[in-house]
Structure 1
Amino acid sequence: MELEELQATWSKMSQELEKQKKLTNEIIMKMTQDRYQKKFSKLRNFETIGAIIGYFLVGLILFNFGKLDTWYLRLSGVVTIVFFTLLPTIVLRTLARIQNLSLIKGTYRDILAKYTREKNRLLRLQQVGIGLSLILMPIIFLGTAKIIAGKNVFLIEIETKVWIGLSVVALLSILVSLWGYRSYKRVTNSAELLLKDLED
């Protein structure tokens, strides 16, 4: 009789330990999910602020589109509207997809594959955005200069101080873009290390 009681007690303790282990694993996974999502919060905040500024610029151009009185100024306005509408929207959606990746559903291998795919998409999107912003900067400048200053830059002589100012703005844009891309790389690499810790 004692042996049967001992076996029943042992079985009950094993079940309790298994429940505790499962509960502990769930808590660890939820904490890891929170840490993972927080890694992308700062990027999401910066991108949201950038998107708001971009959407404001789009509104400004739409409201003043009549001031763009030549074909090339209208083209500049359309390019600016498309660029500052599409790029921030796509970046925010991609960030949301990678940030909300579930670490609880699916196998470790599936989660890592999804993460790698989203990470590569996000970094590629950043590279395209940086390249396009540098290429389109003069085109965007045409329309915004006409709307803000009321001047067609092709019809006026631009002073040296304006060229210096534009050069400084271009240089700052390049530096901010590189800093932003490095931030994206740092955050995505850090999140990847967090995911790799789950394998242990």
Structure 2
Amino acid sequence: MELEEMQTVWSQMSGQLEQQKKLTDKIIIEMTQQKFKNRFSTLSFYEVLGAFICFAAAVVIVLNLDKMNTWYLMGCSILSIIFFLVLPIISLRSLYGMKHLNLTTNNYKETLVEFTKKKKRMLLIQRSGAALSALLMWLVVPVFMMAFNNKDFFQTEKSTGLLIFYAATTIGIIIFARWGYGCYKSITARAEADLKELEA
């Protein structure tokens, strides 16, 4: 085989190897993209379920607004409605942005910067939601008590058992919110590890 023929064959083989590498890289990125999306699918399910519950609670409050006969019960109702409508929407939007982070359009560094920004935003929203959930419980209790029992929480005599129940419920909500936040942190950490595998 002459030198010229060898160079042609070598050039063709190099081109094929380069094409193979590009195809392999594309497949790896697409697999990572799917793996990345799947990481957030479970969270999406629970967030959507939670959003439906919040929206239903907001509807119940709106339908019972006429029973809120004092300024403080009306205030609790309005704040509860705002929380029940705004928090799930903000949370779902941040999760949607994270889940649909496109790994194929940007280079690795840009993707990591965008991921870090979205991760910080999502975790901040979850921390805020966890803190507000205990406050929300104390806003909702008087509203639902008036809506379903026609009793003013602030003017009824409270037994020690009832106060212990509310305190225990508040602690339970805080523990549950912290656990949920821990799940978010864990999943985002695994998603970040998936992204870092691309660099290697």
TM range (shorter): over 0.9
- TM-score computed with the length of structure 1 as normaliser: 0.95
Cα offsets for 1:64-91 (capped at 9, x unmatched): 1111111111111100000010000000
Kept after mapping to 1: 8 A contact 2:131/2:174? no
For 1:171 and 1:155, locate their aligned partners in 2 and report how far apart those are by CA, in whole Å.
Answer: 24
Per the alignment, residue 34 of structure 1 pairs with 34
1:85 is aligned to 85
Q: Tell me the residue number matched to 1:163.
A: 163
- Report sequence identity in percent: 38
Query: Any stretches of 5+ residues in structure 1 without a counterpart?
Result: none
**One-letter code of the match for 1:161?**
G
Say whether residues 1:146 and 2:143 are aligned partners. Answer: no
Figure out how many residues of one structure are paired with residues of the other and give that number: 200
155-164 or 30-39, which deviates more: 155-164
State the Cα distance separating 1:193 from its structure 2 match. Answer: 1.1
- In the TM superposition, residue 11 of structure 1 has moved relative to its aligned partner by 1.4
Match of 2:55 in 1: 55
SS for the counterpart of 1:155 is: coil
1:146-174 Cα offsets, whole Å, 9 max, x none, are 11222111221123332232222112101
Residue 112 of structure 2 is aligned to residue 105 of structure 1: no
Query: Aligned partner of 2:112: which letter?
Result: L
What SS is found at the alignment partner of 2:124? helix
* 3-state SS in 1 of match to 2:199: coil
| 2:117 is the counterpart of 1:117 | yes
How far apart are the structure 2 equivalents of 1:79 and 1:176?
Answer: 22
Contact 1:58 1:80 in 2 (8 A): yes
Which moved further from structure 2: 164-173 or 83-92?
164-173
Q: SS of 2:153's equivalent?
A: coil
Q: TM-score, normalised to structure 2's length?
A: 0.95
1:94 maps to 94
Does the aligned pair in 2 maintain the 1:79–1:140 contact within 8 Å?
A: no
Which residue number corresponds to residue 5 of structure 2? Answer: 5
Q: CA separation in 2, counterparts of 1:155 and 1:8?
A: 93
* 152-161 vs 105-114, greater mean Cα deviation: 152-161
CA RMSD of aligned residues (A): 1.3
Letter in 2 for 1:74: M
Aligned equivalents of 1:46, 1:172: Cα separation in 2: 18
Q: Is the 1:44–1:95 contact (alpha carbons within 8 Å) kept by the matching residues of 2?
A: yes
Question: Whole-Å Cα distance in 1 between the matches of residues 149 and 45 of structure 2?
Answer: 31
Preserved contact between residue 68 and residue 146 of structure 2 (Cα < 8 Å): yes
Distance 2:175 2:131 in 1: 13
Mark the runs of 5 or more structure 2 residues left unpaired by the alignment.
none
Identify the residue that residue 65 of structure 1 maps to in structure 2.
65
